[in-house]
Homo-oligomer: A and B are copies of this chain.
Amino acid sequence: MRDVYVAGVAHTHFGEHWDHGHRALLLEAGLGALQDAKMSGDDIDAAYLGTMGSGAFLGQEHIAPMLMDDAGLAGNHIPVTRVEAAGASGALAFRQAYLAIASGAADRVVIGGLEKMTDVSDQQANAIGSSAIDREWELANGATKVALHALIAKQHMAKHGTSREAFAHFSALMHVHGARNPLAQFQRATTKERVMAAPFVSEPLGVFDCAPLSDGAACVVLTSERAEGRIRVAGSGHATDTMRITDRPSQTAFAATRVAAERALAQAQHEIHDMDLLEVFDTTTVGGLLALQDLGLYEPAQVGKAILDDAITYGGDVVVNPGGGLKARGHPIGATGVAQICELTWHLRATAGDRQVAGAKRGLAHAVGGIGSSSLVHVLEASA
């Protein structure tokens, strides 16, 4: 397997884009990533797109070749592959592209992540989002994604002494981070008190515990060619688990995250504690807390306290989600996994501006599909 490098990254502003369609969003991110890579479309020999619900959100399947065509790249007849793993769709596209280059099947690949969620009603958008869980066995019985996260939160509180404040403080930290990210959907800091005062979505999780509905696109260019300023993909891990959390021995840990992290870190020959920053998948605050635990950063009984102690922000143990995470940056589903790579890259290049994690050399990105049914972990490292 060959070494693979991140050559270019870009993502659009995440948020409600009433004046930009899905075509315009992906085009903006794609041209941005190519420009950043100092490449043209003709340099690209394969493409991967991660999108969860283009069929349901836009009535458009087979969207990957369509978007390549919109970008003016149809003429070279390159192989273009769409993948889907719910919230992990973008991360899965990144992994498939990584494997294509590592194996020698391609040399320069562009990866897109996309979701346009606001062209349907909020109710429809939430229903599509919840199609990541088992429709017949979970959804039909009244469970939604947030309701299942709320059950996990309650169990974590009962079993490990985690406090409601810890979830709320996680959210507040994400909003503090997002306030420094001009591409974030929410750029205003908030406090844990305000998070706790917000209306419940599913008790104990409130509105501020949940990632928003968002439009956005993100693109990354990967290459086999090493060059100054390029960031090496040091490890890639992908694991799955049962579809339903009720079928697992524990409901307060995602084994898929643990296994994916073990695989990626083993390949990278690093420990989780070697990371300078993490991009973790906080569709809810409890999701973010689980990630810190399942990635091996903190013991279940310690993770809540670590959050409350500001161990996961600037000046702490490790900076988590400096761009604001799904909570504040926004969560255009298929785009998120690719945007995480953008954020890591900016820090590892030391070009993250106001929110730069000082001296960042290594970062990890973590994405989840469904309620821990798929997990992908990637380790990126600044070239020496």
Contact = CB atoms under 8 A, between A and B. Distances in A.
Interface string A361-373: 0000000011001
B131 A68 contact: no
Contact of A61 (B80, B86, B238, B244): B86
A372 to B, nearest CB: 10
Interface string A23-53: 0000000000000000000000000000011
A85 B96 CA distance: 15
Interface stretch (A97-105, A180-188, A322-330, A351-359): A97-105
Contacts of A59: 127, 131, 135
Contacts of A256: 77
Q: Which of A60, A65, A69, A132 has the most CB of B within 10 A?
A: A65
Nearest to A133: B62
A243 to B, nearest CB: 4
A62 B79 contact: no
Contacts of A373: 62, 65-66, 69
Nearest to A70: B243
A69 B138 CA distance: 14
Contacts of A284: none
Nearest to A102: B103
Given A55-B131, A79-B240, 15 more contacts: A59-B127, A61-B84, A61-B132, A62-B84, A62-B133, A64-B85, A65-B85, A65-B373, A69-B241, A69-B243, A74-B241, A77-B241, A78-B240, A99-B99, A103-B103
29 contacts: A59-B127, A59-B135, A62-B84, A62-B131, A62-B133, A62-B370, A62-B374, A65-B241, A65-B243, A66-B243, A66-B373, A68-B240, A69-B240, A69-B243, A74-B240, A74-B242, A77-B239, A77-B241, A77-B259, A78-B240, A79-B239, A80-B374, A82-B84, A83-B83, A96-B96, A99-B99, A99-B103, A102-B105, A103-B104
